């Protein structure tokens, strides 16, 4: 086909060092220019902008439109025929002399005459969001690329690149997305061919889960073999938090390389046998790649999919970088790694919907106190109302919503990473799309202006936090004193519903202060960890934990000490001791309730039940009876403590000695640094202890708030049974909060609550038989995703050593007791080491009876870790699948400092 226009290309061809805009050359080449300008190792290249394409397109436009109009998109052959016809129009186009000379001149200016190059297309949408390698429309693999191209073939390959904008894949994609079939231009890059011996694709975030971990796919030969899956490849998984590298190696029998006979083109060759089963990248190279990936991600402000290679000489080249196509609109990230401490195992629907209401109310107040405007909170009300989800009957944090909401606070950069550590996340997550560079600049300016104001306000609020918490506890005591343990049976149901809302209106205005404690505690603890590492105080990983013992009284400890003092009273009275040794716990309560036990002792028990009766196993689950409902559980605790000869003084003395020993270690380590020692001892550590006290003590206020709510729902359930709406009290726990209240206040949509409860009970029983992964990324409708844990989380123990996070120092040897339900833990035995998925404050009686603890979930600031430190129990948290990898009854050794668990064989015993 003869040319229709004789315009030259010279002014529209850009060398790689010249300024390039995305709307001229596309994202692929503009990013290569940016990377080259930033000092990254990118091979030299030049680009034909879309203006060159436009010259040719104008000459062919009428014929192209004719071919496209004839396509029937319901007929695959019609699409193929139309695509081939349009591409042939470009192939038949004849360059003018000036056009071809401009191309070859650019080639000669950049490369030597004998150089081989790659020629690649990049589509540029008239609407930029419809461009190749954009975040939403990557057009992956749809544009043409040619490798090992000699100089004389470059003009023909450029025409084929232009034509590839009309490949059948591109046409189908554009049609399916409702895009204009002609709404684009095609830029073409001509780049020096790098002879890669080993090629890779690096994802700076996991493309499957959005975790901020790095995934590297690598194989022998050039990148085309890796990208197009034509050769076997290794996979390397790098933890974003720890840098740990996990290898999944393939038997790499083939590689893709240049056809040396022809001098161009590709051919498959065998990999030398000695190299087939070894890693094609070293750990040093992987670590280097991760650092380069971080540099590229920082440059483009979002997770990247990066292609590159290493030459035979070991030189790294980056060939391409594009945004990872994460579908944020359909993606949700879930975890129960921290919330399972409050809601272990399967929870009923009433517990879940009440917890959902609780999170919404308290976080509204917390965000307000952290400087988030009322408008911003209201604009994000939907995620605020859905901070937790219900997957296979388990309560999960919706991390996507937590990230979105937490980031509304201008102080998030100060506490974000430490918050992730506190809730036990092994990875960070990419949960939302990035904005344009200009928008980022404007947003950054706005945020930093708010950061200044909020930082000052937060600083003064922190200085006043002790007084604020004192007023909070005073308010709570006034509010709960008349309601503590109150039986609402036979109260008017609507009056009860109104009382519930009255208490929660006050709660919504006051409770946020308990969450601001975490906003101070998290960065303060992070600062302490940073200082310990910087000042080389972290060789003993348990030192910081031990230094946090003492000085501050914790309500959870006072509760257990109260029970221990009751046990001491039993041992001090021979008659009581005889009765407790002889009778079962249920009988002991019957005797006390009938007035047949010592009056003074009985009064102390009733005092404990009145003030501490909301502390129990799984106490935040409404279906679980409180200690007041099952007082024989307290009698069982007293009976066990009396038999163990444990005393309140020994517990306090143990904590005191741990602290004193830690103080001595710190004194010795900082003997030559008095200012550092003073800074830690006078400022950081005392403040940390107070913040931990505030956090733990407000947790029991939460237990009382849930206890009050439990009693309300219990009374309403009894009313529904009396009205023959439900068959039994237990049915109420299988209704939602709105369904219960709605029946009473006229806002409900059904009166057949029993049928609903029957369905939910059946689902509850089914969920007891299901498992669920600890962290899940779902795409689209949540129920369509696989929620089961991967094999690596459930497979059995395959070695002699496991490692978690050491959180309370000490090394002990004992017998593993795997406990899934503390109500059925079996008899307490000497030398028992508790193994559990998670614990809550109600496990304290079991914790105190064991030599050590290992749990699957938790962090250094979790309840399990704090309890271990408080009572001097060697403790390891965050050890995945501990309950399946450590056999029940096995002899084990645990080190609460290093986090190491050893399974002992007979020769070790």
pLDDT in tens, 332-359: 999 998 888 889 999 999 999 999 999 9
**pLDDT value of position 162:** 95
**Residue 264 in this model has a pLDDT that exceeds 70:** no
Q: How many residues does the chain have?
A: 909
Q: pTM, whole model, 2 decimals?
A: 0.79
Residue 646 gets which letter from DSSP?
A: -
Structure-block tokens of residue 811: 């090394």
**pLDDT value of position 232:** 87
Sheet holding 852-855, edge to edge: 801-803, 900-903, 891-895, 811-818, 832-836, 852-855, 875-877, 805-808
**pLDDT value of position 733:** 98
Categorize the per-residue pLDDT at 452 as very low, low, confident or very high, splitting at 50, 70 and 90: low
**pLDDT value of position 88:** 95
Percentage of the chain exceeding pLDDT 90: 57
- How far is the CA of 183 from the CAs of 25, 161, 268, 354, in angstroms? 15, 16, 38, 51
**pLDDT value of position 522:** 86
Which of these ranges, 373-377, 436-440, 645-649, has the smallest mean pLDDT? 436-440
Mean pLDDT estimate for the chain: 88
Pure H helices in 348-436: 349-369, 374-379, 381-385, 399-406, 412-422
How far from the centroid of its chain's Cα atoms is residue 344's Cα?
18
Which of these ranges, 40-54, 225-239, 280-294, 799-813, has the smallest mean pLDDT? 799-813
Highest mean pLDDT among 99-108, 554-563, 719-728: 719-728
Percentage of the chain exceeding pLDDT 70: 92
Categorize the per-residue pLDDT at 794 as very low, low, confident or very high, splitting at 50, 70 and 90: very low
| Residue 317: other Cβ atoms inside 10 A | 19
Q: Which residues lie across from 814 on neighbouring strands? A: 892
**Residue 665 in this model has a pLDDT that exceeds 90:** yes
Region 452-459: mean pLDDT is 66
- How far apart are the C-alpha atoms of 833 and 894, rounded to whole Å? 9
**pLDDT value of position 523:** 86
User: How do 214-220 and 801-803 pair as beta strands?
Assistant: unpaired
- How far is the CA of 235 from the CAs of 201, 202, 238, 525, 871, in angstroms? 10, 10, 10, 35, 44
The pLDDT tens digits for 826-870 are 777 888 999 998 887 667 777 878 889 999 877 665 767 777 876
Q: What letters, b where the CB count within 10 A reaches 16 and e where it falls short, cover 417-439?
A: bbbbbbbbbbbbbbbbeeeeeee
- How far apart are the C-alpha atoms of 517 and 389, rounded to whole Å? 25
3-state secondary structure of 785: coil
- How far is the CA of 17 from the CAs of 43, 61, 194, 296, in angstroms? 11, 33, 18, 18
């Amino acid at each position: 086909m003869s040319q229709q226009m004789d315009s030259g290309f010279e002014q529209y061809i850009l060398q790689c060092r010249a300024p390039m805009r995305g709307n001229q050359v596309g994202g692929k080449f503009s990013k290569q220019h940016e990377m080259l300008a930033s000092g990254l190792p990118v091979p030299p290249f030049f680009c034909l902008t879309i203006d060159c394409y436009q010259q040719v397109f104008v000459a062919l436009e009428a014929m192209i439109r004719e071919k496209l109009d004839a396509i029937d998109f319901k007929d695959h052959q019609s699409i193929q025929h139309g695509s081939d016809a349009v591409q042939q129009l470009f192939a038949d186009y004849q360059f003018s002399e000036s056009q071809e000379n401009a191309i070859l001149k650019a080639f000669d200016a950049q490369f030597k005459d004998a150089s081989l190059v790659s020629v690649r297309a990049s589509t540029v949408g008239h609407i930029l969001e419809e461009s190749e390698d954009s975040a939403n429309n990557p057009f992956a693999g749809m544009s043409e690329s040619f490798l090992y191209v000699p100089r004389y073939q470059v003009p023909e390959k450029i025409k084929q690149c232009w034509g590839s904008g009309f490949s059948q894949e591109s046409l189908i994609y554009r049609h399916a997305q409702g895009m204009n079939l002609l709404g684009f231009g095609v830029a073409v890059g001509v780049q020096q061919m790098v002879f890669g011996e080993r090629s890779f694709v690096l994802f700076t975030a996991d493309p499957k889960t959005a975790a901020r971990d790095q995934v590297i796919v690598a194989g022998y030969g050039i990148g085309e073999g890796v990208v197009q899956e034509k050769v076997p490849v290794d996979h390397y998984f790098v933890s974003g938090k720890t840098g740990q590298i996990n290898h999944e190696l393939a038997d790499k029998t083939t590689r893709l390389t240049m056809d040396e006979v022809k001098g161009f083109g590709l051919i498959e060759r065998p990999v030398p046998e000695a190299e087939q089963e070894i890693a094609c990248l070293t750990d040093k190279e992987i670590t280097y790649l991760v650092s380069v990936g971080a540099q590229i991600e920082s440059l483009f402000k979002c997770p990247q999919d990066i292609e590159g290679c290493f030459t035979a000489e070991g030189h790294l080249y980056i060939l391409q970088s594009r945004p990872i196509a994460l579908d944020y609109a359909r993606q949700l990230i879930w975890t129960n790694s921290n919330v399972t401490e409050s809601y272990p195992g399967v929870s009923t629907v009433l517990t879940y919907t009440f917890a959902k209401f609780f999170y919404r109310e308290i976080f509204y107040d917390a965000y307000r106190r952290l400087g988030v405007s009322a408008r911003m909170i209201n604009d994000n009300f939907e995620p605020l109302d859905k901070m937790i989800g219900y997957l296979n009957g388990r309560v999960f944090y919706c991390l996507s919503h937590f990230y979105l909401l937490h980031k509304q606070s201008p102080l998030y950069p100060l506490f974000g990473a430490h918050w992730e550590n506190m809730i036990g996340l092994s990875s960070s997550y990419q949960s939302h799309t990035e904005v344009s560079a200009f928008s980022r600049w404007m947003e950054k300016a706005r945020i930093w202006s708010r950061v200044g104001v909020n930082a000052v306000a937060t600083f003064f609020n922190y200085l006043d936090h002790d007084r604020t918490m004192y007023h909070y506890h005073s308010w709570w005591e006034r509010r709960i004193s008349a309601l503590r343990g109150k039986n609402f049976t036979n109260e008017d149901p609507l009056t009860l519903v109104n009382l519930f809302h009255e208490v929660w209106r006050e709660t919504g205005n006051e409770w946020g202060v308990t969450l601001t404690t975490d906003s101070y505690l998290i960065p303060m603890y992070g600062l302490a960890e940073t200082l310990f590492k910087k000042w080389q105080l972290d060789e003993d990983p348990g030192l910081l934990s031990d230094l946090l013992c003492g000085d501050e009284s914790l309500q959870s400890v006072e509760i257990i000490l109260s029970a221990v003092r009751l046990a001491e009273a039993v041992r001090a009275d021979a008659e009581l001791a005889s009765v407790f040794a002889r009778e079962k716990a249920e009988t002991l309560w019957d005797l006390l309730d009938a007035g047949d036990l010592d009056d003074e002792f009985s009064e102390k028990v009733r005092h404990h039940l009145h003030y501490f009766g909301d502390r129990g196993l799984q106490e935040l689950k409404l279906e679980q009876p409180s200690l007041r409902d099952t007082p024989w559980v307290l009698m069982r605790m007293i009976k066990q403590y009396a038999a163990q000869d444990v005393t309140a003084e020994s517990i306090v003395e143990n904590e005191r000695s741990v602290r004193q020993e830690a103080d001595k270690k710190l004194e010795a380590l900082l003997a030559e640094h008095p200012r550092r020692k003073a800074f830690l001892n006078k400022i950081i550590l005392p403040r940390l202890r107070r913040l931990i006290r505030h956090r733990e003590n407000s947790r029991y206020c939460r237990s009382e708030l849930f206890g009050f709510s439990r009693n309300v729902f219990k009374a309403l359930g009894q009313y529904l049974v009396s009205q023959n709406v439900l068959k039994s009290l237990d049915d109420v726990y299988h209704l939602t909060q709105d369904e219960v209240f709605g029946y009473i206040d006229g806002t409900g949509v059904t009166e057949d609550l029993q049928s609903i409860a029957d369905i939910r009970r059946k689902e509850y029983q089914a969920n007891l038989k299901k498992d669920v992964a600890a962290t899940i990324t779902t795409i689209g409708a949540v129920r369509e995703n696989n929620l089961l844990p991967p094999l690596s989380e459930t497979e059995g123990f395959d070695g002699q050593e496991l490692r978690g996070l050491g959180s309370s120092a000490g090394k002990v040897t004992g017998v593993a007791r795997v406990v899934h339900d503390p109500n059925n833990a079996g008899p307490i035995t000497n030398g028992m080491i508790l193994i559990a998925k998670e614990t809550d404050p109600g496990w304290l009686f079991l914790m105190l009876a064991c030599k050590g603890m290992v749990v699957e979930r938790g962090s250094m600031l979790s309840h399990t870790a704090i309890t271990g430190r408080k009572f001097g129990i060697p403790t390891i948290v965050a050890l995945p699948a501990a309950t399946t990898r450590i056999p029940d009854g096995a002899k084990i050794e645990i080190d609460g400092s290093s986090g190491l668990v050893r399974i002992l064989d007979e020769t070790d015993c």
